[in-house]
Amino acid sequence: MDKIVIEGGRRLEGTVRINGAKNAALPIMAACLLLNGPSRIKRIPNIDDIHTLSKILENLGGKINRHDDGMLEITFTDGENQDRFVAPYELVSKMRASICVLGPLLTKRQKAKVSYPGGCVIGQRPVDLHIKGIRALGAQVETTEGYITASADRLKGTELSLKGEHGTTVLGTCNVMSAAVLADGTTVIEDAAREPEVQDLAHFLNKAGAKISGIGGNTLTIEGVKELHGVDYEIIPDRIEAGTFIIAGAITKGNITLENVRAEHLTSVIDKLREIGVEISIIGNSIIVKSSNIYHPVDIATMPYPGMPTDMQAQFMALLCTVEGKSIITEMIFPDRFMHAAELRRMGADIRVEGSCAVIKGSPFLSGTNVQVSDLRAGAGLVLAGLVARGTTNVHRIYHLDRGYERLEERLSKLGAVIKRMNE
Ligand code: UD1
């Protein structure tokens, strides 16, 4: 197993290019199941979650070629492999987002059997809204022996809401939208997720011949079509990777430039960083981060888009641990998503978690030590803390990080961090 070793205290300088968005790539790759003929999708990051989904799609009969420039060519052909409809436990257990094949498989092959994703360290992660959505479209759904099995000869358009206890659902919206594009008649999804990654999937499907309107709003209207064809498509830049690098610049009091960014997807993140005192300028597709010496504590509440992403919470926590004064983070999406707080405390941070709130008393100094990654974004938060901590930080269990960040340590090293990957 690998670990990342960081000597903290270096200011980051230079330019980093942001990859395509993992969370857009996954449902778009799954949606290729719906298409007849090859699609070429550009800017797919070379990360473990993409490899896992590629294996699932290959099991389902897809032909996948990766080009060196990050383009994936994915081909499904109508009428072939109709009898393959299973996403097995061995693969789904590696990545919860594998659930995104449920909608496309069901509508295209009339049957889908997807391993129940189960909970994870960031919370319970139920899939009741996914099931509610596809049932509303007329599917029979059973959950037995650890699998969700859904079947329907033909799905039928309907009106449904995806509102749950913690708001709407991102992948649930992707699943229901993907299922509805080939259904009979019109589907209206109320309380749909508005995340840029959901919008990207809708644009991809429309390019392939779907009829989805209301993209970017809470109500999506989908007129079913008979067939979809392969397309060339470039996915949006990863706003969470961008946010992570912005905070890497800010936490080290550095000056860095990010290229290939859509700043409009990062409004809540940029606004909060400006409130903290980080100077951020936007020029076309680039973001320039200039640090100041005085940062201010802030309060943050994670929210569905366009609010503060829960996937940026751990990174903000790392930064706020180094900002003198009291900050409060309230987690509205995954109330238990604070595993990183205990590890940051091992680095000397003063964090008190009460229910879904974390109260942080920041101080300029963290100290390097051994820490363990519990999930992808927690790992990003710990690496950021290591960049500024005094001494050496050993970040263990980095396989979580490799799920979502491509060569993170190499790219931070190019910006001047003293960071390397080592075998344990
Ligand atoms: C996606 C993202 C993940 C991000 C999350 C929230 C991908 C691959 N992953 O995950 O990085 O952290 O959105 O922005 O895109 N819920 C239910 N019932 C359901 C589904 C969800 O109650 O059927 C709850 C969840 O427990 C959570 C909230 O709804 O409290 C939001 O979850 P959801 O948007 O579904 O997250 P994912 O789509 O799994």
CA distance 165 to 168: 8
Which pLDDT score, from 0 to 100, does residue 310 have?
Answer: 97
Query: Which ligand 1 atom is the nearest neighbour of the CA of 197?
Result: 15
Whole-model pTM? 0.97
Q: What is the average pLDDT score of the chain?
A: 96
CATH number at residue 329: 3.65.10.10
Give yes or no for residue 358 having a pLDDT over 70.
Answer: yes
Residue 321 and residue 186 share a domain: no
Give yes or no for residue 125 having a pLDDT over 90.
Answer: no
Residue 270 and residue 216 share a domain: no
Mutate to test the pocket of ligand 1, among 125, 175, 191, 339 (most ligand atoms within 8 A of CB): 125
- Domain end: 234, 264, 299, which one? 234
Residue 220 and residue 92 share a domain: yes
> Hey, is 199 helix, strand or coil?
helix
Report the separation in Å between the CA atom of 98 and the middle of ligand 1, taken as the mean of its atom positions: 13
Rounded to the nearest 5°, which phi and psi values hold at 2? -95, 155
- Catalytic residue (one of 32, 100, 120, 321): 120
Residue 263 and residue 205 share a domain: no
In this structure, what DSSP letter does residue 210 have? -
Q: Is 120 known to be catalytic?
A: yes
Report the separation in Å between the CA atom of 305 and the middle of ligand 1, taken as the mean of its atom positions: 12
Q: Fill in the amino acid letter for 389.
A: A
Report the separation in Å between the CA atom of 170 and the middle of ligand 1, taken as the mean of its atom positions: 6
Residue 266 and residue 198 share a domain: no
Residue 345 and residue 276 share a domain: yes
Residue 243 and residue 385 share a domain: yes
Report the separation in Å between the CA atom of 424 and the middle of ligand 1, taken as the mean of its atom positions: 33
pLDDT digits (tens, 9 = 90+) for 157-193: 999 999 998 899 999 999 999 999 999 999 999 999 9
pLDDT digits (tens, 9 = 90+) for 206-254: 999 999 999 999 999 999 999 999 999 999 999 999 999 999 999 999 9
> Hey, is 184 helix, strand or coil?
strand
pLDDT digits (tens, 9 = 90+) for 289-309: 999 889 999 999 999 999 999
Query: pLDDT over 70 for what percent of the chain?
Result: 99
Mean pLDDT value across residues 97-115: 96
Sheet holding 255-259, edge to edge: 13-17, 255-259, 286-290, 279-283
Residue 278 and residue 317 share a domain: yes
Q: List all residues whose CB is within 6 A of at least one atom of ligand 1.
A: 23, 26, 97, 123-130, 164-166, 169-172, 197, 310-311, 333-334
CA distance 149 to 154: 15
Residue 367 and residue 253 share a domain: yes
- Domain end: 234, 256, 276, which one? 234
| Residues in contact with 151: Cβ distance below 8 Å, sequence separation at least 6, in sequence order | 106, 110, 111, 112, 139, 140
Which pLDDT score, from 0 to 100, does residue 424 have?
Answer: 87
Report the separation in Å between the CA atom of 294 and the middle of ligand 1, taken as the mean of its atom positions: 35
Among 119-123, 135-139, 226-230, 334-338, the range scoring the smallest mean pLDDT is: 119-123
Which pLDDT score, from 0 to 100, does residue 122 have?
Answer: 73
Mutate to test the pocket of ligand 1, among 268, 333, 400 (most ligand atoms within 8 A of CB): 333
Residue nearest to atom 15 of ligand 1 (CA): 23
Range of the domain at 12: 2-18+237-423
Report the separation in Å between the CA atom of 372 and the middle of ligand 1, taken as the mean of its atom positions: 24
Query: Which ligand 1 atom is the nearest neighbour of the CA of 128?
Result: 23
Which pLDDT score, from 0 to 100, does residue 176 have?
Answer: 98
Query: Which ligand 1 atom is the nearest neighbour of the CA of 125?
Result: 26
List, in sequence order, the alpha helices (H) in 368-407. 376-388, 399-402
Is-contact 359 351, C-beta < 8 A?
A: yes
pLDDT digits (tens, 9 = 90+) for 366-405: 999 999 999 999 999 999 999 999 999 999 999 999 999 9
Q: How many domains does the chain have?
A: 2
Residue nearest to atom 12 of ligand 1 (CA): 311
Mean pLDDT value across residues 262-288: 98
Residue nearest to atom 39 of ligand 1 (CA): 171
Which pLDDT score, from 0 to 100, does residue 120 have?
Answer: 67
If one counts every other C-beta atom within 10 angstroms of the C-beta of residue 159, the result is 12
Burial of 346 (0-12, 13-18, 19+ CB in 10 A): middle
Which pLDDT score, from 0 to 100, does residue 353 have?
Answer: 98
Residue 187 and residue 263 share a domain: no
Residue 228 and residue 268 share a domain: no
Residue 292 and residue 187 share a domain: no
Query: Which ligand 1 atom is the nearest neighbour of the CA of 334?
Result: 30
Query: Which ligand 1 atom is the nearest neighbour of the CA of 164?
Result: 22
CA distance 390 to 385: 10
Give yes or no for residue 118 having a pLDDT over 70.
Answer: no
Give yes or no for residue 119 having a pLDDT over 60.
Answer: no
